[in-house]
Amino acid sequence: MFKKIIVPVDISVLDKGLDILTKASELLDPAGEIVLLHVVEEIPSYLAIDVPVDLMDSAVNDARDKLQELRSRAKVDAEIELRTGPPAREILASAKAHKADLILVASHRPDLSNYLIGSTADRVVRHAACSVLVRR
């Protein structure tokens, strides 16, 4: 059983989020905590001039709403955390800040792009200081 589990969720694939959040609740110590995390990727500066000023704010608000809905659907007590930046870096930073003993991350079937540039789950597995469970 784990005391602190980070559950990073891609809000564009909420079914996978529901699956890993449910699994996290099964692995959680009765006195443990789950941190439900979403990372909003920043807009590159060369594109920022062409997008509405409030785009990041609305992306964060939309993510918060979807995570609250996901938490309700799963009937799991979890702290919601939103971060901005590169997903793998922010997932690892969250795990470090919360002193997590497990990161439970969903992954998709790898394709050629994963072998060339790597996926978020791959980066988290390679660099995490705690245990990582990758669920497909």
Per run of 10 residues, the mean pLDDT along the chain (length 136 residues) is 96 92 97 97 71 80 96 96 96 98 86 60 94 92
Tokens found for residue 24: 């996290």
- The domain spans of the chain are 2-134
Fold classification of 2-134 (topology level): Rossmann fold (3.40.50)
User: What does the alpha-carbon distance between residue 21 and residue 76 come to, in Å, rounded to a whole number?
Assistant: 8
pTM of the model: 0.89
